[in-house]
Amino acid sequence: MTKLESMNRDKTCQLSFAGDMVLMLVNGLIERSEVQSVEGAVEKASLNRGIWTVSTFNQSFKTTRLFMCTGSQPQSSSMHYPFNKDLTVLDLDECMLRSHLPSALPKDRKSVVAVIGNSHSGILCCKNLYESAKSKERDIKIVNFGRRPIKYAKYVDNGIIFDNTGLKGSTAEWAKEVMENDPDPEMIEQVDLSQDQDLAFREHLPRCTHIIYAIGYTRSPLPALYIDGQPAGEELTFDMHSSRFHYGDRAERVQGLYANGIAFPEEVKDPEGHVEAAVGIAKFFSFAERMKKNWLSLE
């Protein structure tokens, strides 16, 4: 907390600092006598007469409120197969960690890494690859594929335009300095996918050795959910403004079911009216703070 409080609040910071704070809060809650902590995979959750029964592989619990904060995983793809099926697919989360990246690439030969996507995660991977090459940790050429120009967050008097989809902080600074400023073609090459994706892949992927898919995240699997004995399945709809769920054609609100986090973000508008999902740990906390009145009410 002291470290966070000492930082410039007008700038971005490493997620690890916020992560340390969250772990501290979690550990503090677990130590409280009124908190029962159970760790395990929830296989099934059933609502009957206003009470949820939540089941793991060997236990079950009853509660009036169930919160799904299930997280998301990087989207995977096999779109490279027709053009170069021998590419080594690198894990996006690992490639966004600068210290982990070199171990994913060989020391004894050059790696030509295709990065699919030029949003924040894709550009951060490009940055990490570039810095690893510059420091001579690995011999790397980067080929970044994107459907549109790199987008940056814009700070205005009444907020931030592209707050959730534009680049910020050191990643934005690096992109402007390196990728937008006549980059060395021996180190970084940018390929436009907006006209003919197959042609672009056919031309560039055969000479690549590795590929990183930075094409977004998909919600982690949910447990089997039942309402009054019936499987809810696709009948459930998350309300991105109330953190609640609706069920069926009548849009009936599901009692005691709520969600938060990257799998269930809030929908917001930026100052220019662009509709976005508010993704970021501070935004998840802010959404929770404003929605807790809904959570306390079981109406």
**What is the band of 62 on the pLDDT scale with cuts at 50, 70, 90?**
very high
**What is the band of 291 on the pLDDT scale with cuts at 50, 70, 90?**
very high
Query: Average pLDDT for residues 34-60, to the nearest whole number?
Result: 93
Higher pLDDT, 191 or 158: 191
Number of H helices, E strands in the chain: 7, 20
Beta bridge partners of 100: none
> Would you say residue 298 has pLDDT above 70?
no
Per-residue exposure over 247-282, b if at least 16 CB sit within 10 Å of its own CB, e if not = beeeeeebbbbbbbbbbbbbebebeeeeebebbbee
Residue-level pLDDT at 58 = 87
Element (H, E) at 267: strand 266-269
The percent of residues above 70 in pLDDT, for the chain, comes to 98
> Would you say residue 8 has pLDDT above 90?
no
Query: Average pLDDT for residues 180-209, to the nearest whole number?
Result: 93
- Lowest mean pLDDT across 10-19, 122-131, 214-223, 281-290: 10-19
Higher pLDDT, 163 or 198: 198
Distance CA 279, CA 166 (A): 11
Q: Please, are residues 200 and 191 in contact by the beta-carbon 8 Å criterion?
A: yes
Residue-level pLDDT at 200 = 96
Query: Average pLDDT for residues 260-264, to the nearest whole number?
Result: 95
Residue-level pLDDT at 299 = 60
